[in-house]
Chain A
Amino acid sequence: MSDLERRLRFALAPVEPPMALTDRFERTLTELTDAAVEELADTELRAMRDPRNWARPAAAVLVGGVAGGTLIVVQARQRQRRRRPRGLRGLERRVRETAGSAIRAVRR
């Protein structure tokens, strides 16, 4: 390795991301999930009566599922950082919580 390459490696040292970044990422995903759940609740009854509206709640379920899933994995990261046990049990609990809140909102 040349001297310049050695200096480059030193100058371009990896930068640690701020802890707040993961919190922010989780917030964004929570907002996406909430918006999808609200969309689902608002349109659910109409969608059931009018086949032309069936596409919208389906899309909301999709968005909610994707964002909720990502939220779960990010929360898994936070749990790991806090040295809490992680794994399938925790993941399963999050899935149940996310699915449960979506179902309750739809039934309201």
Chain B
Amino acid sequence: MEARPSKPLLDEEFSELYRSHLRDVYSYSYYRVGNHHDAEDITEQTFLQAYRHFERAQRESDGRPLRPWLIRIAHNLAANHYRDRSRRPQTNLEDATRLSAVHATEDVVEGREELAAILDGVAALPDDRRDALIMRFALDMDNREIARALGRSEGATKVLLHRAIRQLEGSLEAGDGHE
């Protein structure tokens, strides 16, 4: 029978997980809900839940990275967030604040409209396609990680990403992404 890890060791490992993935969880939450206030709530709840189930997750992960598991928790919390409050993500992602905070000023001035069109286009995609794009481009997750986070096969995830990009491309060409 395998010995259980000690509490101080578990805490140290959880601390490492928190340090390594706080930005990932926050970025995912932010692009899902579209505002900082709710993104903070979801990030906080994600790590509280993660701590409660950390030992079991470690045991069952078989040495695989825990990032998909964390993002899956955030994904479920964001879904509940909308269900509970009967609302959809905000499409403009607090534009002015975010664009100036996240991107270099000269780039923003140059491409503000294009950027806003892309963000609006992403927000308008069906939930699973939008989520896959956020995981790929904001968090730089590979197909295997996204598949684990979404509970799909790698093949299905590859198709999902391909369709999401094609749909976004179509909507940008048609000018649907930005009003």
Contact = CB atoms under 8 A, between A and B. Distances in A.
Does chain A bind chain B? yes
B51 A88 contact: no
B43 A14 contact: no
A77 B44 contact: no
Contact of A28 (B14, B44, B111, B165): B44
Contacts of B51: 66, 69-70, 73
Size bracket of the A interface: 20 to 34
Q: Is the interface of B mostly helix, strand, loop or mixed?
A: helix
Interface stretch (B23-31, B64-72, B80-88, B146-154): B23-31
Contacts of B15: 73-74, 76-77
Interface stretch (A15-23, A37-45, A49-57, A100-108): A15-23
A91 B8 contact: yes
Nearest to A72: B11
B118 A11 contact: yes
B11 A7 contact: no
Given A10-B103, A70-B48, A15 B26 contact: yes
A47 interface: no
Contacts of B23: 14-17
Contact of A8 (B10, B40, B48, B137): B137
Q: Which of B15, B26, B114, B115 has the largest number of chain A CB atoms within 10 A?
A: B15
A24 B44 CA distance: 8
Provide the main secondary structure of the chain A interface.
helix
A29 B48 CA distance: 9
Contacts of B98: 15
B139 interface: yes
A15 B98 CA distance: 8
Contacts of B12: 73, 76, 88, 91
Interface of B: 7-8, 10-12, 14-15, 18-19, 22-24, 26-27, 30-31, 36, 39-40, 43-44, 47-48, 51-52, 98, 101-103, 107, 111, 114-115, 118-119, 122, 133-134, 137-139, 165, 168-169, 172
28 contacts: A2-B165, A4-B169, A8-B137, A8-B168, A12-B119, A12-B133, A14-B24, A14-B27, A14-B138, A15-B27, A15-B39, A16-B23, A16-B26, A17-B22, A17-B26, A17-B40, A17-B43, A21-B40, A21-B44, A22-B22, A24-B44, A69-B7, A70-B47, A73-B12, A73-B15, A73-B51, A77-B19, A91-B11
